[in-house]
Amino acid sequence: MTQTEPRNDWETVIGLEIHAQLATRSKIFSGASTAYGAPPNAQASLIDLGFPGVLPVLNGEAVRMAVRFGLAIGARIARHSVFARKNYFYPDLPKGYQISQYELPVVAQGTLDIVLDDGSTKRIGITRAHLEEDAGKSLHEGLGKLTGVDLNRAGTPLIEIVSEPDMRSAKEAVAYMKKVHTLVRYLEICDGNMQEGSFRCDANVSVRRRGSDKLGTRAEIKNINSFRFVEKAIQYEVARQIELIESGGKVVQETRLYDPDKGETRSMRTKEEANDYRYFPDPDLLPLALDEAFIEGVRKSLPELPDEKAARFSSQYGLSPYDAGVLTASRELADYYEEVVRAVPREPKLAANWVMGELAAVLNKDNLEIGSGKMPAARLAGLLTRIADQTISGKIAKEVFEGMWAGGESADAIIESKGLKQITDTGAIERAIEEVMAKNPGQLADYRAGKDKLFGFFVGQVMKATQGKANPAQLNELLKKKLPG
């Protein structure tokens, strides 16, 4: 089976359910800590353990975060929403039910715009976003035939973000997921850590003949925790469904799991085996009532959102939409860029090139985040200042940058100690040109005979003689004057 985009006579329809763990300090219905990595069950209170007699109390911070998200996607914030119980038995679900929102979610009907490969934007509908508690984890390793249960994660607040089936390719699905990922981190409601499971998704995938307005039967791929896996899982699933239908088969409604090692999805349970969750309003929790003052207070606290910031970067700094998009992909990156620009206000484009180019490359190589502190914005700005005031050329700057990254020194210190300051003294450049002309009489003769290409040869030789420090513009001008004789 091939795993490329489907052939043109098939259309893919994708909807995503994204689970984002809210960055509250305590759990959604108990006071236990949500910190990651504690020994098993060290952060499970009696409430998380579902002990007899205990009751849930809603964490107001989780509500505030959900409302932040709702306002950021232009959604309707429910003045009245209801917590419901989703009933099923599983060892990592201590109460035998998950507290979630069912008929009346706190957030409904929002949208997010994604940028497609051709540069156009597409609007993705978000049906709803609701609050719920996470389950614990079953542990199978090191316990022989037994299964262990770790309830540290049980009761961690989640927001489940359900999209409309608006995406038409795996790429669009990834773009949407990345957009949500960016947004929740901007809003500081989720740390976005996919390895720790803070941000994961279920993908509903179906295919239909192009032109058909009827949705095909969908399969739900559960619990995918990386952008790459989302893309691969969807591609695999689409190919599987098309092949199945084309060979006379039928897609069945089922839940599937993506196996990243084998690169395939496989059936977990069919619709017939699906649980009847017997949702009903949780009688232990009152309906969640939000008033205008609360919602307006949250609205006022919203930061500048990614799309707004990108638009501002374009207009304020003259950046292309692409560059503005890259630089606003995270709040940390955008803040870093703006700090650099504040130090070299006349060079926003130069700053963008360096942040997206050299800096991004070394960060990527050393697997570091922008916030790692290894290259403070002020230090990078120090380098750009020297490019801007022509103390060094762009080429020398790369050498200086390498030194800064390796040794943590300032640009000025490296320029000084290595003597990299650009030569802008016309007399000195002229002397170097004359020496080069004297050493290369043959090439000079050829040039004068009309071999213009040799101009570059002389630039190179002078640069070599000056260890690259000659000011390139001056050098060009002087060569043009001197070479013709």
Partner 1 sequence: MSHRNSLTELAIGLRAKKFSSVELVRAYLQRIETSQPALNAFISVTGTQALEAAAAADRDLAAGRGGALAGVPIAHKDLFCTAGVRTTCGSRMLDNFVSPYDATVVAKLKAAGAVTLGKLNMDEFAMGSSNETSYFGPVRNPWNPDFVPGGSSGGSAAAVAARLVPGATATDTGGSIRQPAALCGITGIKPTYGRVSRYGMIAFASSLDQGGVLTTSAADAALMLREMAGFDPNDSTSVDTPVPDYVAALDAPLAGVKIGLIKEFVDEGLDRENERRIREALAVLERMGATLREVSLPNLPLSVPAYYVVAPAECSSNLARYDGVRFGHRCKEPRDLLDLYRRSRGEGFGSEVKRRIMTGTYVLSAGYYDAYYLKAQRVRQLIAADFKRAFGEVDVLVGPTSPTAAFRIGAKTADPITMYLNDIYTIGANLAGLPALSVPCGFVDGLPVGLQIVGPHFAEARILNVAHRYQLETDWHRKTPERFA
The least distance separating partner 1 from the CB of residue 43, rounded to whole angstroms, comes to: 15
Distance CA 220, CA 204 (A): 4
Backbone angles phi, psi at 296, to 5 degrees: -65, -35
Span near partner 1 by CB under 8 A; candidates 60-68, 92-100, 215-223, 325-333: 92-100
Q: Is 384 in the site for partner 1 (CB under 8 A)?
A: no
Residue of 6, 15, 70, 94 that binds partner 1 (CB under 8 A): 94
In the beta sheet, which residues pair with residue 20?
159, 199
The H or E element spanning position 264 is strand 264-270
Window 340-359: residues binding partner 1 (CB under 8 A):
none
Q: Which residue has the tokens 């994204």?
A: 18
Instruction: Give me 100's structure tokens.
Output: 């979630």
CB–CB of 123/111 below 8 Å? yes
Phi, psi angles (nearest 5°) of residue 214: -100, 135
Q: How far is the CB of 154 from partner 1 (least distance, A)?
A: 11
Q: How far is the CB of 151 from partner 1 (least distance, A)?
A: 9
Least distance (Å) between residue 12 CB and partner 1: 30
Residue listed under structure tokens 């038995």: 89
Of the pair 279, 457, the CB lying nearest partner 1 is at 279
Among 1, 9, 39, 52, binds partner 1 (CB under 8 A): 52
Give the per-residue contact string, 71-90, with partner 1 (x = CB under 8 A; - = no). Answer: --------------x-x-x-
Q: Binders of partner 1 among 134-193, rule CB under 8 A?
A: 147, 149
Work out whether 276 is an interface residue with partner 1 (CB under 8 A). Answer: yes
Among 35, 51, 378, 464, binds partner 1 (CB under 8 A): 51
Report residue 299 CA to chain centroid gap: 24
Q: Which stretch binds partner 1 (CB under 8 A): 118-126, 281-289, 442-450, 476-484?
A: 281-289
Q: How far is the CB of 299 from partner 1 (least distance, A)?
A: 26
Within 10 angstroms of residue 42's Cβ, the number of other Cβ atoms is 13
CB of 175 to partner 1, least distance (A): 35
- Asked if 450 interacts with partner 1 (CB under 8 A), we say no
- Residue from 248, 283, 441, 450 touching partner 1 (CB under 8 A): that is 283
If one asks whether residue 55 binds partner 1 (CB under 8 A), the answer comes out as yes
Question: CB-wise, 144 or 485, nearer to partner 1?
Answer: 144
Measured from the CB of residue 293, what is the shortest distance to partner 1 in angstroms? Answer: 19
Alpha-helix runs per DSSP H in 301-409: 306-317, 321-327, 331-343, 348-354, 360-365, 377-388, 394-407
* Phi (first) and psi of residue 280, to 5 degrees: -155, 155
Cβ distance to partner 1 smaller for residue 103 or 416 = 103
Between residues 102 and 401, which has the closer beta carbon with respect to partner 1? 102
User: Which of 239, 241, 242, 236 lies closest to 264, judged by CA?
Assistant: 236
Exposed/middle/buried for residue 276 (C-beta within 10 Å: 0-12, 13-18, 19+): exposed
Closest distance of CB 254 from partner 1, Å: 18
Non-local CB neighbours of 235 within 8 Å, separated by 6+ positions: 3, 4, 5, 170
Q: Which residue has the tokens 């503005």?
A: 324
289 binds partner 1 (CB under 8 A): no
Taking the least distance from each CB to partner 1, the nearer of 92 and 264 is 92
The window from 127-135, 276-284, 338-346, 463-471 that contacts partner 1 (CB under 8 A) reads 276-284
Nearer to partner 1, 100 or 471 (CB): 100
Task: Determine the Cα angle at 17 with ends 11 and 19, to 5°.
Answer: 150
- Which structure tokens are listed for 18? 């994204």
Quick check: helix, strand or coil at residue 455? helix
- Comparing CA positions, the residue from 141, 34, 156, 22 lying closest to residue 98 is 156
What whole-number distance in Å separates Cα of residue 380 and Cα of residue 45? Answer: 47
Residue of the chain from 37, 39, 53, 441 that contacts partner 1 (CB under 8 A): 53
Cβ 145 to partner 1, closest distance in Å? 10
Beta bridge partners of 130: 160
Q: Which residues in this chain contact partner 1 in the complex, by CB under 8 A? A: 46, 49-58, 85, 87, 89, 91, 94-97, 147, 149, 276, 278-280, 283-286
